[in-house]
Amino acid sequence: MQQVAEAWLIYRLSHNAFYLALDPVLNTIPIFLFSLVGGVVADRMERRHVLTGSQYVQMACAFFLTALLAVNRIHVWEILTSSFICGFAQAFGGPAYSALIPTLVDKEDMPNAIALNSMQFNAAVMIGPAISAAVLAKIGEVWCFGLNGISFFAPVIALAMLKVRFAPVKTGESVMQSMKQGIKFIRRQGAMQGLIILGFAMTFFFIPMRTFLPVFAKDIFHKGAGTYAMFQSITGAGSIVGALTIASMGNFRKKGLLALLGLASLGATAVVFAASRFLPVSYLALFLSGAFMMVVFASVSSLVQLIVTNEMRGRVMSVYNFSFRGGMTLGNLASGWLVPVFTAPLVVLGNGALLVALAVYFALAQRSVAEL
């Protein structure tokens, strides 16, 4: 809910596409900078405590923006600052979260668990915008931020109820040495580097399309917050369908090949959405893009989790998160600069075409991922 309201609020206050792109950039820059350190922390501390602390920081930011909106003293710079602080918390919470999941399920159930976990996230992506559209229209933006702050109580309580404990192995290594060990592990696993590149490419080229949905709703289709929320909800619905499909397949073979097919399809749907000027076609493209995005994400994440050992999990997942979230940062920043020059549809179309080309390259020339 807050992401929808935040993007709409920034564009309403500034009517500037660069600020719209800068907000997710500032959210992901700390992840880009500190997630490797966060991975070391996740391998040296109780992962539940690290994740709980991250939730508290993000909750405080949500309530801070709620208070500013309530007294009508909100400015764009305050929203951007809050996004940066939340990103710093996520830099430590993300690796702990990724490393915690495999301790809750057996190895053979890992693909199902990752897909179902992604489904609950995308259910929020689908339901949140639908609720936020009504909230924005009826009682204003402040409630979107307030309800988001309240929602953090649920994961905090759930984490307190978990009985799984992580006992880190004591080590005399420095943080830098531990980080190097994680990178060396990745370099020894040939296909791991390809998976990390795919995670980076997916977010670099695709996420800007979702970032600029307010531009498409307002400037291309000349609609309001309701259409923007519908864009988000339909994308989330597609993600749920994709996650359910992956979860139903179990621990299937050829995950790498499926990831590449999903990546090519994701790029194709981005091209269709960018070229469309007919809302039903745009809705269909967004639905399919959500499904294919989840196919790629779940397949790649499952392969990374299955390859890594538990004692290296926090560090390796931090590198994966680094590439995944770093792609968001750099992709949004690059597209934010390009959109004022070439327009949002043209930039999204070009990004989609590059995703298709990358998938074809990995399928034909760089076979390490396709053979997994």
250 pLDDT band (50/70/90 cuts)? low
Look at residues 152, 127, 157 and name the one whose alpha carbon lies nearest to residue 61: 152
153-161 vs 141-151: helix crossing angle, rounded to 10 = 10
Cβ burial of 354 (10 Å; 0-12, 13-18, 19+) is middle
60 pLDDT band (50/70/90 cuts)? very high
Look at residues 215, 277, 268 and name the one whose alpha carbon lies nearest to residue 12: 215
Q: Does domain 2-164+171-364 bear CATH number 1.20.1250.20?
A: yes
Q: What is the dihedral of CA 278, 281, 287, 292, to 10 degrees?
A: -120
Q: Which two tokens stand for residue 262?
A: 């999903």
Size (the chain), residues: 372
pLDDT above 70 as % of the chain? 88
CB atoms within 10 A of CB 165: 9
Q: Is 28 helix (H, G, I), strand (E, B) or coil?
A: helix
Say what the pTM is: 0.71
- Residue 324's pLDDT is what? 79
Residue 130, pLDDT > 70, answer: no
Sorted by where each begins, the domain ranges of the chain are: 2-164+171-364
Instruction: Please give the span between the terminal C-alpha atoms of the chain, in angstroms, as a whole number.
Output: 37
Written as one letter, the residue type at 13 is L
| CA 232 – CA 132 distance, rounded (Å) | 10
Q: What is the dihedral of CA 74, 78, 80, 81, to 10 degrees?
A: -160
| pLDDT tens by residue, 275-316 | 999 999 999 999 999 889 888 888 888 788 777 777 777 778
Query: Which residues, other chains included, contact 97 with Cβ-Cβ below 8 Å and sequence gap of 6+?
Result: 47, 51
Per-residue CA distances from 217 to 6, 140, 159, 203, 283 (Å)? 15, 19, 38, 21, 11
Q: For the chain, list the strands marked E by DSSP.
A: none
Look at residues 32, 85, 29 and name the one whose alpha carbon lies nearest to residue 322: 32
Cα within 13 Å of Cα(131), Cβ side? 14
Query: Which residues, other chains included, contact 280 with Cβ-Cβ below 8 Å and sequence gap of 6+?
Result: none
Q: Is 139 helix (H, G, I), strand (E, B) or coil?
A: coil
Q: Report, in angstroms and rounded to the nearest whole number, the Rg of the chain calculated over CA atoms.
A: 20
| pLDDT tens by residue, 195-213 | 888 889 988 999 889 888 8
